[in-house]
Amino acid sequence: MKIGIPKALMYYFYYPFWKTLFENLGFEVVTSDDTSKTILDVGVKESVSEICVPMKVFTGHFLNLLYKNVDYIYVPRFVSLSKGIFMCPKFMGLPDMIKGLFDNVDEKILTHNIISKDLDISNFNNYKSFINKFGIKKIDLKRALKSAQQEWIMFRKLNQSGYNLNELLSERQPQKINSDITIGLIGYVYNVYDKFINMDILNIFRKMNINVVTFDMIDEKLIRNRISKFKKHMFWEFTNILLGTAYEFMDRNDIDGIIHITAFGCGPDSILEPFLTIDSEMHKKPFMTLRIDEQTGESHIVTRVEAFSDLIRLKKYKDNIKNQAEEYAKGAI
Amino acid sequence: MKVTFPYMGSPYMYEKLFSLLGHEVIIPPRPSLKTINYGVKYSPEFACFPLKVIMGSYLEAIELGADTIITSGGNGPCRAGYYGEAQKKILQNMGYDVDFIIFDEPKRDYKDFLNKIKKVKGNNSWIDVARIVNIVYKMASSMDKIEKIIERKRAYECNKGEFTKAWNEISQMYRKIRVSDDVDYVEKEALKKINSIKICHVSESEKIRIGIVGEIYVVMESSINNNIEEVLNAYGAEVERSHYISEWIDYNMIPLPSYKSKERQILKKGEKYIELVIGGHAKQSAGGIIDFMERGFDGVIHLKPFGCLPELITQSVIDKIIREYDYPIISLSIDEQVATANLLTRIEAFIDVIKIKRERLKIAR
């Protein structure tokens, strides 16, 4: 049996988990093609016009898999990844949305609720429905989940040691670059790692000799620590994580500036925005928001990133001179 | 303590509550272009429209001298539950020193909740508080009852504008309530007033009935949805909304199961299309559409602020409902860019669709 996994949304974060899980259960795992103009256009055409671009991309990938003749397309419903915190409502209604948009796809969709205490989604209860649906043994499912979990933890470990997800997913050798500035990139995995939708922003950074740190490379404990200082948490798991990451970046000296990459019309990010803009100003960290959607052009992103990095370099240069001058002055007295 | 609150629907209920509790109340002005401009200027660009309007209301109320803002929180995942926190941050950054009292679910933080209650309670005894809450609840239910009648009857008024005028007068009457019995008296007077208005006869078979579902703020606040109820009434259609403040109180505040039955039924009807409660009123909207259809309404208007997270999922399933039942539904987005002409044209076209559909059915018979 073939199972299709759309290369969109949480794919970038959980693909190693899903791949191991389904392969251990005896499925053939097929992914959709990389996001392309065709996929995006189809997604834009089929989905509701106002919805954010990641959802449109997902719709495009879903259709792409439909044409690939797979038996099932995996559309999990992410509900909650820690107690009292949800995912964006669009994730919680994702299968409903897909079923609403297309006729006669209900049998093809493989969906179940994902409710877990942390980012590790290997909780057996989430996958119980597989037992009857595919006629597999409980023990086999448990074993598959176990190895999927191990695979995912390995993947995250590598990730947190400084390799970005795209390098890990494509099995390309991670490259370390020697750069003079480091930028903290804040954004959801599907905005940061989807090369088509963000005009391959990671590569743009690399070409400009800028080192990039994203939320997935940061130790989760540090982030949780930051979040816990908030009396009332935001309702969305990854928005919370981004908020914690942002505060971590603001306080760290090795991060020279922060770029927030967000999709047009992203709801949770609109609530995140005042916190980031106001507090980065207070911490005197350069901050910029890059907004992407189906209309974004490459030159726009390149220009803005270039201007931003020039500014940071200039700032650094000036700070250096100032420091040196101060040191000389000390000697004079 | 000069208290203010978000403007949603009739503000007199909140005014009554806080003034009976002994606070000085500053009613924010009815949202106008000025409110919207204020709100849009100081809110995040992609925040949803209600946040911007409420932000504008707060700023206007602060200009009038308010120093305490009382509002409700939430558990998400709809953005509305976090409005208070975000607005607090922005207002603080702007240099305003206002006290925010945000009522979250008690179980989030019992002590904090109790402290807030005490702050609002003032020097009243608990018995007085219970009495006041009872009066306000009775007033809200009564006002909603009258409003429902007006939304139905206004479609057939002979002289345009009479019902709206009467409703404004009735609202002022409700404002003067002091004790529980006053509500009964005002209600009687209001009914008398409404029944005395001349109504032009329309035969039962030609009556058009339209339901409004969607996000609670844009459904309830007439100043930002371009008075959609009055517009529909003017086209000769009866209207019923899916949200009334008294029903919201029934479902969210009263812990008795019998008060929750109506909402539960509607949620059940929406289950086929949206499995979980995904925040806001997404599931209620899907269920509400089915509910209106089953009750024989001719069409449903779905209202949402631009980019509303949960309602976008509802909008995605609406197409399916239309295909399945061949039922007229229109989805309208509302934000600061909406032009009245656009809305009017679309509503007019929608009503024409309903009329034509009816003719077609007649011929087919």
What is the reported pLDDT for B328?
94
What is the reported pLDDT for A84?
85
Which chain A positions have a beta carbon within 8 Å of B338's beta carbon?
A: none
- The distance of Cα A56 from the centroid of its chain, to the nearest Å, equals 16
What is the reported pLDDT for A328?
84
What is the reported pLDDT for A77?
94
Integer Cα distance of B126 and A223 in angstroms: 43
What is the reported pLDDT for B148?
93
Q: Using the structure block, give the residue that is written with the tokens 């019998």.
A: B258
Q: How many angstroms separate the first and last alpha carbons of chain A?
A: 80
* CATH architecture, domain B207-365: 3-Layer(aba) Sandwich (3.40)
Eight-state DSSP code of residue B42: H
Q: Regarding the domain delimited by A165-330, which CATH topology (the fold level of the hierarchy) does it fall under?
A: Rossmann fold (3.40.50)
Out of B75, B77, B274, closest to residue A236 by CB: B77
For A250-278, what is the mean pLDDT? 92
Judged by CB atoms closer than 8 Å, whether chains meet at A278 and B90 is answered as: yes
Contact B79, B305 (CB under 8 A): no
Integer Cα distance of B35 and B42 in angstroms: 11
CA B73 to each of CA A232, B82, B101: distance values in angstroms, whole numbers, following the listed order: 10, 7, 9
What is the reported pLDDT for B108?
81
Contact B122, B23 (CB under 8 A): yes
- Residue B305 contacts A where some CB pair is shorter than 8 Å: no
**pLDDT one-digit tens code per residue, B189-206:** 999 999 999 998 888 888
B294: helix, strand or coil: helix
A310 φ/ψ sector (left φ>0, alpha ψ -120 to 50, else beta): alpha
User: A with B: how many residue pairs have Cβ under 8 Å apart?
Assistant: 125
The pLDDT mean for chain A works out to 90
**pLDDT one-digit tens code per residue, B256-265:** 888 788 888 9
For residue B9, give the nearest of B305, B246, B288, B235 by alpha carbon.
Answer: B246
- Residue B42 contacts A where some CB pair is shorter than 8 Å: no
- pLDDT of B105 > 90? The answer is no
Contact A141, A124 (CB under 8 A): yes
Which two structure tokens, joined as six digits, stand for B264? Answer: 């539960």
What is the reported pLDDT for B315?
92
Integer Cα distance of A296 and A168 in angstroms: 26
Out of B46, B76, B275, closest to residue A270 by CB: B46
For residue A9, give the nearest of A71, A60, A64 by alpha carbon.
Answer: A60
- pLDDT of A331 > 80? The answer is no
Produce one character per residue of B38-54: b if its CB has 16 or more CB atoms within 10 Å, e if not. bbbebbbebbbbbbbbb
What is the reported pLDDT for B123?
87
- Residue A264 contacts B where some CB pair is shorter than 8 Å: yes
For B137-158, what is the mean pLDDT? 93
Q: Using the structure block, give the residue that is written with the tokens 């989604």.
A: A121
Judged by CB atoms closer than 8 Å, whether chains meet at A96 and B319 is answered as: no
For A98-126, what is the mean pLDDT? 92
Out of A77, A89, A100, closest to residue B273 by CB: A100
Judged by CB atoms closer than 8 Å, whether chains meet at A86 and B77 is answered as: yes
For A264-277, what is the mean pLDDT? 91
Give the model's confidence band at B252: pLDDT under 50 very low, under 70 low, under 90 confident, else very high. Answer: confident
- Polymer length of chain B: 365
Q: Using the structure block, give the residue that is written with the tokens 């106001």.
A: A278
**pLDDT one-digit tens code per residue, B289-337:** 999 999 999 999 999 999 899 999 999 999 899 999 999 999 999 988 8
Produce one character per residue of A141-158: b if its CB has 16 or more CB atoms within 10 Å, e if not. beebbeebbebbeebbee
Judged by CB atoms closer than 8 Å, whether chains meet at B309 and A96 is answered as: no
Q: How far is B336 from chain A (nearest CA, A)?
A: 15
Contact B90, B42 (CB under 8 A): yes
What is the reported pLDDT for A330?
79
> Looking at this predicted complex, what is its ipTM?
0.89
Q: How many angstroms separate the first and last alpha carbons of chain B?
A: 66
Give the model's confidence band at B54: pLDDT under 50 very low, under 70 low, under 90 confident, else very high. Answer: very high
Give the model's confidence band at B136: pLDDT under 50 very low, under 70 low, under 90 confident, else very high. Answer: very high
- Residue B273 contacts A where some CB pair is shorter than 8 Å: yes
CA A107 to each of CA A97, A125, A130, A157: distance values in angstroms, whole numbers, following the listed order: 15, 22, 14, 36
Each domain of chain B, given as residue ranges in start order, spans: 2-124, 130-202, 207-365
What is the reported pLDDT for A168?
80
Encoded amino acid at A113, one letter: N
Each domain of chain A, given as residue ranges in start order, spans: 2-160, 165-330
What is the reported pLDDT for A333?
60
For residue A28, give the nearest of A65, A55, A62 by alpha carbon.
Answer: A65
Eight-state DSSP code of residue B181: H
For B87-107, what is the mean pLDDT? 91
Q: What is the pTM of this model?
A: 0.92
Which chain B positions have a beta carbon within 8 Å of A83's beta carbon?
A: none
The pLDDT mean for chain B works out to 91
Out of A99, A266, A278, closest to residue B46 by CB: A266
Which chain A positions have a beta carbon within 8 Å of B86's beta carbon?
A: 271, 274-275
- Residue B278 contacts A where some CB pair is shorter than 8 Å: yes
For A187-195, what is the mean pLDDT? 92
Judged by CB atoms closer than 8 Å, whether chains meet at A93 and B333 is answered as: no
- Residue A106 contacts B where some CB pair is shorter than 8 Å: no
Integer Cα distance of B92 and A185 in angstroms: 27
What is the reported pLDDT for A286?
93
Which two structure tokens, joined as six digits, stand for B350? Answer: 């929608």
- pLDDT of B74 > 90? The answer is no
List all residues 6 or more positions away from B23 whose beta carbon is below 8 Å from its beta carbon.
Answer: B1, B2, B3, B68, B120, B122
For B122-142, what is the mean pLDDT? 92
DSSP assignment of A123-163 equals -GGGGTHHHHHHT--HHHHHHHHHHHHHHHHHHHHHHHTT-
**pLDDT one-digit tens code per residue, A204-255:** 998 899 999 999 989 999 999 999 988 888 999 999 999 999 999 999 999 9
For residue B61, give the nearest of B38, B95, B84 by alpha carbon.
Answer: B38
In chain A, positions 152-211, which contact chain B (CB-CB < 8 Å)? none
Out of A89, A99, A103, closest to residue B77 by CB: A89
What is the reported pLDDT for A109?
94
- pLDDT of A32 > 70? The answer is yes
Integer Cα distance of A186 and A193 in angstroms: 12
What is the reported pLDDT for A83?
87
What is the reported pLDDT for A174?
64
- pLDDT of B35 > 70? The answer is yes
- Residue B48 contacts A where some CB pair is shorter than 8 Å: yes
Eight-state DSSP code of residue B75: -
What is the reported pLDDT for B203?
87
Question: Which residue out of B312, B319, B322 would a mutagenesis test of the A interface target, given it has the greatest number of A Cβ atoms within 10 Å?
Answer: B312
Contact B71, B101 (CB under 8 A): yes
What is the reported pLDDT for B194?
92
Judged by CB atoms closer than 8 Å, whether chains meet at A97 and B333 is answered as: no
Contact B55, B87 (CB under 8 A): yes
Which chain B positions have a beta carbon within 8 Å of A113's beta carbon?
A: 276
Cα Rg, chain A, nearest whole Å: 21
Give the model's confidence band at B250: pLDDT under 50 very low, under 70 low, under 90 confident, else very high. Answer: confident
Give the model's confidence band at A20: pLDDT under 50 very low, under 70 low, under 90 confident, else very high. Answer: very high
CA B42 to each of CA A110, B4, B46, B59, B160: distance values in angstroms, whole numbers, following the listed order: 44, 19, 12, 10, 38
Q: Using the structure block, give the residue that is written with the tokens 């259709």.
A: A63
Integer Cα distance of A144 and A255 in angstroms: 40
Chain B nearest-CA residue for A79 = B278
Give the model's confidence band at B2: pLDDT under 50 very low, under 70 low, under 90 confident, else very high. Answer: very high
Other beta carbons within 10 Å of B342? 12
- Residue A83 contacts B where some CB pair is shorter than 8 Å: no
For B158-175, what is the mean pLDDT? 92
Give the model's confidence band at A172: pLDDT under 50 very low, under 70 low, under 90 confident, else very high. Answer: low
**pLDDT one-digit tens code per residue, B193-246:** 999 999 988 888 889 999 999 999 999 999 998 899 999 999 999 999 999 988
Percentage of chain B exceeding pLDDT 70: 100
- The distance of Cα A321 from the centroid of its chain, to the nearest Å, equals 38
Examine domains B2-124 and B207-365 and report if their fold is the same. Answer: yes
What is the reported pLDDT for A171?
66
Integer Cα distance of A261 and B273 in angstroms: 32
- pLDDT of B173 > 90? The answer is yes
* CATH architecture, domain A2-160: 3-Layer(aba) Sandwich (3.40)
Eight-state DSSP code of residue B272: T
- pLDDT of A148 > 90? The answer is yes
What is the reported pLDDT for B126?
92
Q: Regarding the domain delimited by B2-124, which CATH topology (the fold level of the hierarchy) does it fall under?
A: Rossmann fold (3.40.50)
Vertex A237: Cα angle to A271 and A66 (nearest 5): 105
Out of B46, B280, B320, closest to residue A89 by CB: B280
Q: How far is A102 from chain B (nearest CA, A)?
A: 8
- pLDDT of B68 > 70? The answer is yes
- Give the residues across from A184 on adjacent strands: A213, A258
DSSP assignment of A185-222 equals EE--HHHHS-TTTTTSHHHHHHHTTEEEEEGGGS-HHH
Give the model's confidence band at A11: pLDDT under 50 very low, under 70 low, under 90 confident, else very high. Answer: very high
Out of B79, B104, B320, closest to residue A267 by CB: B79
Q: How far is B155 from chain A (nearest CA, A)?
A: 32
What is the reported pLDDT for A164?
82
Secondary structure string (H, E, C) spanning A76-119 = CEEEECECCEECCHHHHCHHHHHHHHCCCCCCCEECCEEECCCC
Percentage of chain A exceeding pLDDT 70: 98
What is the reported pLDDT for A146?
94
Judged by CB atoms closer than 8 Å, whether chains meet at B315 and A50 is answered as: yes
Judged by CB atoms closer than 8 Å, whether chains meet at B48 and A270 is answered as: yes
